[in-house]
């Protein structure tokens, strides 16, 4: 058996140490034949078996940095859209999947999952809740979610049921999906909005699995065994 490579893309969006360590911990604990590579090089994307796109800060800065990395967008599209490598976006890395982001301007996203990223403040009554949405909140299956038996991550989400499972969130913007079928998990903060989006081999989480203690490590393990 060969060792698989999980690539965490480093495009200058902040600290990747926590994410890398969380994946390494899961690999060690579960005895997976995998290694974690942190890189900003397009050729590493081409070689990767799984791809993780983290992200911190503003949507515009993140997508600009990603585009500024030579060959990166093309390599990602080839690996994820054509060769269907399992992909996980985290926080702003999830938001970049959208068609566009409306944080400080109007920025084009990857457009892998149709939708737009808008201010949380526009979705909750003024003055009622603190922004950022910061802390632990339950992720649950939306009532009208589409079932995908192949998706091991989703099977975990379903096992949490309507009660949900707690994950750590910190964000001021949210992903508005155009197609409700792409909402795989939801969270309630003033109103229900997407916490997990995805389709086929692509998944994005608004929360931070690398900071969500055992629940987060479990989700990372699910992603590592996911074979879409």
Partner 1 sequence: MLKTRIIPCLDVDGGRVVKGVNFLDIIDAGDPVAQAKVYNAQGADELCFLDITATHQGRDTILDVVRHVADEVFMPMTVGGGISTIAHIRNLLNAGADKVSINSAAVKNPDFVRDAAEKCGSQCIVVAIDAKAKEDGSAGWEIFTHGGRKGTGIDAVEWAIKMAEYGAGEILLTSMDRDGTKAGFNLPLTRAVADAVSVPVIASGGVGNLQHLVDGVKEGHASAVLAASIFHFGEYTVQEAKEAMREAGIAVRL
Q: 130 or 180, CB closer to partner 1?
A: 130
Q: 84 or 134, CB closer to partner 1?
A: 134
- Of 103, 165, 176, 210, the catalytic one is 210
Binders in 47-76 for partner 1, by CB under 8 A: 56-58
The yes or no reply on residue 155 touching partner 1 (CB under 8 A) is no
CB burial of residue 73 (10 Å; 0-12, 13-18, 19+): middle
- Catalytic annotation on 35? no
47 C-beta neighbours (distance < 10 Å), count: 13
- Catalytic annotation on 210? yes
Binding mask 33-52 for partner 1 (x = CB under 8 A): --------------------
The yes or no reply on residue 104 touching partner 1 (CB under 8 A) is no
CA–CA dist 69, 204 (Å, integer)? 21
Q: 84 or 129, CB closer to partner 1?
A: 129
CB 209 within 8 A of CB 170: no
Provide the pairing of β-strand 87-90 with 50-53: parallel
Q: 24 or 78, CB closer to partner 1?
A: 24
Helices then strands, counting H and E runs in the chain, come out as: 7, 13
- Of 62, 91, 107, 171, the catalytic one is 91
Binders in 208-227 for partner 1, by CB under 8 A: 208, 210-213, 216-217
Backbone torsion region of residue 42, taken as left when φ is above 0, otherwise alpha when ψ lies between -120 and 50, otherwise beta: alpha
Backbone torsion region of residue 160, taken as left when φ is above 0, otherwise alpha when ψ lies between -120 and 50, otherwise beta: alpha
Contact footprint for partner 1 (CB under 8 A): 14-15, 17-18, 21-22, 25, 56-58, 127, 129-138, 166, 168-172, 188-189, 208, 210-213, 216-217
């Amino acid at each position: 058996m060969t060792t698989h490579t999980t690539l965490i893309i480093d495009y200058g969006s902040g600290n990747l140490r926590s994410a890398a360590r969380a994946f390494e911990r899961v690999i060690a604990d579960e005895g997976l034949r995998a290694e974690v590579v942190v890189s900003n090089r397009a050729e590493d994307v081409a070689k990767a078996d799984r791809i993780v796109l983290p992200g911190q800060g503003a949507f515009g800065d993140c997508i600009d940095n990603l585009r500024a990395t030579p060959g990166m967008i093309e390599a990602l599209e080839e690996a994820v859209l054509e060769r269907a490598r399992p992909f996980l976006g985290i926080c702003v890395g999830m938001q970049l999947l959208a068609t566009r982001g409306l944080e400080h301007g109007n920025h084009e996203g990857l457009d892998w999952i149709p939708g737009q990223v808008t201010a949380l403040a526009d979705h909750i009554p003024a003055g009622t809740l603190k922004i950022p949405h910061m802390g632990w909140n339950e992720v649950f299956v939306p009532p009208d979610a589409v079932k995908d038996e192949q998706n091991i991550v989703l099977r975990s989400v379903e096992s949490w049921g309507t009660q949900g499972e707690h994950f750590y969130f910190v964000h001021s913007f949210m992903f508005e999906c155009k197609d409700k079928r792409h909402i795989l998990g939801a969270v309630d903060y003033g109103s229900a909005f997407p916490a997990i989006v995805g389709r086929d081999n692509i998944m994005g989480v608004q929360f931070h699995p690398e900071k969500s203690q055992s629940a987060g490590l479990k989700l990372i393990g699910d992603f590592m065994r996911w074979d879409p």
